[in-house]
Structure 1
Amino acid sequence: MSVAMRAAVALTTAPARPHLKKSGGMGGDTPPGSGFIFSKAISQASRHAAGGGVSVLGAAPSVGRSVGWRWGEKRNARSPHRAAAFTYDEEGLQERGYERSFFPPVGVADDPTVANPLLRQQMLSTEWFGCVFQLEGVLVKSRFKEHKMSWKRLAEEREDSEPPEMVLKLADLMKPEDFISRHLRWTRDPMEMRRIKTRRDEIYAEILAEDPDGGALALLDGVLPFLTLLQNNKVPMAVTCNTYSYSALCEVLASLQILDFFQHDRAPGAALDAPRGEPHVVSAEDVSDWLPDPLPIERACQLMGRPPKRTIVFGNNTTVTEACFEAQAKCVLLLGRQKRYEMMGADTVVDKLTDLTVSNLKRLFTEETSDAAEPQRQVDIFPPGAGPNTRTLTMEAPEEGTDTDDAGGKEPPDSTRRRRRRDV
């Protein structure tokens, strides 16, 4: 007797276990989803028995559709819900509207290909998320005034008119190449735009050198404890910046001694100098467009290994809110650049990062919905096969020779027979 047949016989002859409490599953006193496993085992046993000409229950294979169906009907004749739990199959799930072949479909972050159930359970919990930080305005002090001054000096050097303030507001929110071609409209030649950008970076470095503090970047208050807190909770992090190239951004993070927070975790037992892969850094060179386009956020999610719906983006302006809305990510804004009433579209607005805890971040994902776990139901206003019970009323024209008048809201008389009013 094969293993599948022994399992089927053991299931049919197993005594009832009244000590098991009823759960929320489909099987009553069985764990949720166990009926699906039992029906699979019994179906395999029935197919094996049918091939050999012997049935598990001692009957001919042609009697009934399958051994699992007959056993479920006999064992659970008094409980139709329990019997239905043993007859679920992929065809039934497809009839109910599920497109995928696994059961049950759950969570926006669920991956049915993961074989480790503990890892899959962790992915479904609210602690499985990632964080994306903007460099300027979140991790370090915003250099908005220095950026504006560099563009003004560059326009004066090129003997062009000074850009208006409305245009300069976007100086540090876009890629420099896009700012030159779209708003300043100086040129559309890629090589010329690259030369202008290089010269602008040199002027920006000169402006920082004129700063009494030397122009050195420094972390804002509370940034280092917050990054340490996320690292201790095994939360992956990424950083984005549109004013630095990829290599320059990595050098800036290394000078701030925070590059280690944006790299992959070391393997257990690995050496300290072991390679850790590409850091989670997104610069203007990595994407074709910048915020409010969600491309930088999607690239950061790809590096962290998290879906956008399980990502929190930290910024200081409303363009981050627009990008998060497009990518379906969570948005946390810091005060400083804009007023609080202008940031009402964000999920959370705080003064500094130390005002947040891991529990606050987890609470952002407590009300997430999934189309797979909760398919949208289409409400039928009318029963299937029947249209709306409406009739089109048409008014027939009066026959010739019929007297009509305007009394009682009826149709007016024929224009040819209407008496004309005499001018008095």
Structure 2
Amino acid sequence: MECSSCSSRSSSSSLLLPARPSSFRVPHSLVPSKLRPSKSKLHQRLSVTRACGQDRNDSVDGFSILPSKLFSQEAIGAEYGEGFETFRQDGPMKVDVDFLNERLQEGFLKRIRYAMKPDEAYGLIFSWDNVVTDTRTMKMKIWKQLASEEGKEIPEDEHVQRLMLYAGADHVLRKVLLWELSESELERLKSRLSQLYVDHLVKLRKPIGGLREWLDAVSRSGIPCAVVSSLDRISMVEALDRLELKKYFQAVVSEEDGMESIAHRFLSAAVKLDRKPSKCVVFEDDPRGVTAAHNCTMMAVALIGVHPAYELVQADLTVASYNDLSVINLRRLFANKGSTFMDMEKQSIEKSPPKRKLSIDTIF
């Protein structure tokens, strides 16, 4: 039986989720091997099932249903207008940056409302790691616990530990820690990392310093907010509830949305907030996230943390904490930009008046 949260989808959310499989299931052993779904498709189906509150076990039919992108380095995405493809009843539809900027234009009534309350025209998108809550310490504890379980040690070198915080698990295990692993062992350790992340997630009780006060300020101004993560939706909502931040976010982009890159998540959040990408501000702590935001024609505010300030210079605004921000900063970000701030500016050259021709008239 399908849960009510999945049956009552808004039009924006339905654009982002692929068609859900039928509730009728044939036993896996009776399905011919050629017709069996691939592991990735089965994983996606199980994630949707888990979002509806079913199958809360760690695995089903031998496939893990843990978040698969927690320790992976995702593509930036949206280069040169690249978007993502979603499915509707009338067929597949390509969603890209230009399409959303044009499709999500404000109507007449919204333009009047935004003229009176300009702050409401913006949308704020927050990444989860080190932007909503400090996961650096948690990730380091996870790596040390994994090393202890495998009878190994984590180097104390600061550069190595910094790489472990934002590089993909494949790169860390093979190139940074130099562990000799087979493909099966690598998959086992990546699954274990995800399991440890979910286990440690329930221990988080505090958001990033100053975030709650900042969200209070933007909430009073009527600015909608979204949070994006590679976590599954249930874990995400439960974590926000424990941090007492759930009421501030009108949209959540999680693993169930099936986005393949960082930029796709930002675009998905813009759709859920009903805001044009060019009117959204992304809060990130990673240069890759800043690049993804700019590829989506979004503004980017970078928080100094894992990456020092000199690595975040491409951001539109760099701050040490949320205490340095005010709503007026958002207005200044968009000042003199307009909806086409990524377009090339054309220099207007005034035409000089034509020169008068002098002539000498002779009277005979």
Structure 2 residue 198 is matched with structure 1 residue 248: no
User: In structure 2, what is the Cα distance between the partners aligned to 1:347 and 1:314?
Assistant: 11
Structure 2 residue 146 is matched with structure 1 residue 154: yes
Corresponding position of 2:208? 220
**Post-superposition CA distance 1:394-422 (Å, at most 9, x none):** xxxxxxxxxxxxxxxxxxxxxxxxxxxxx
Corresponding position of 2:311? 342
**Post-superposition CA distance 1:21-74 (Å, at most 9, x none):** xxxxxxxxxxxxxxxxxxxxxxxxxxxxxxxxxxxxxxxxxxxxxxxxxxxxxx
Structure 2 residue 223 is matched with structure 1 residue 235: yes
Partner SS state of residue 333, structure 1: strand
Residues 1:297 and 1:175: Cα distance change in structure 2 (over 3 Å): farther
User: In structure 1, what is the Cα distance between the partners aligned to 2:249 and 2:209?
Assistant: 19
Q: 133, 143, 151: which is aligned to 2:126?
A: 133
Percent of aligned pairs with the same amino acid: 23
Equivalent AA in structure 2 for residue 294 of structure 1: A
Larger RCO (CA under 8 A, 6+ residues apart): 2
Structure 2 residue 270 is matched with structure 1 residue 301: yes
Residues 1:337 and 1:180: Cα distance change in structure 2 (over 3 Å): closer
**Post-superposition CA distance 1:266-303 (Å, at most 9, x none):** xxxxxxxxxxxxxx11234434444xx41221121121
Corresponding position of 1:387? none
Structure 1: tracts of 5 or more residues without a match: 1-107, 264-279, 381-424
**Post-superposition CA distance 1:128-182 (Å, at most 9, x none):** 1100112332222x23243134235435645789699767645554676897799
User: In structure 2, what is the Cα distance between the partners aligned to 1:180 and 1:247?
Assistant: 29
Q: 107, 110, 116: which is aligned to 1:119?
A: 110
User: In structure 1, what is the Cα distance between the partners aligned to 2:342 and 2:309?
Assistant: 36
* Deviation (angstroms), 1:356: 1.6
Structure 2: tracts of 5 or more residues without a match: 1-99, 350-364
**Post-superposition CA distance 1:73-120 (Å, at most 9, x none):** xxxxxxxxxxxxxxxxxxxxxxxxxxxxxxxxxxx9677986x63412
Partner SS state of residue 334, structure 2: coil
More helix by share: 2
More strand by share: 2
User: In structure 2, what is the Cα distance between the partners aligned to 1:317 and 1:232?
Assistant: 28
Residues 1:180 and 1:325: Cα distance change in structure 2 (over 3 Å): farther
Corresponding position of 1:105? none
Q: Which has the larger radius of gyration?
A: 1
1:11-410 equivalence runs, <5 A: 117-122=108-113, 126-127=118-119, 128-140=121-133, 142-155=134-147, 157-158=149-150, 169=162, 171-173=164-166, 193=187, 196-204=189-197, 208=200, 215-242=203-230, 244-263=231-250, 280-290=251-261, 293-370=262-339
* Deviation (angstroms), 1:252: 0.3
Equivalent AA in structure 1 for residue 252 of structure 2: V
Residues 1:354 and 1:182: Cα distance change in structure 2 (over 3 Å): same
Contact 2:226–2:273 (Cα < 8 Å) also in 1: yes
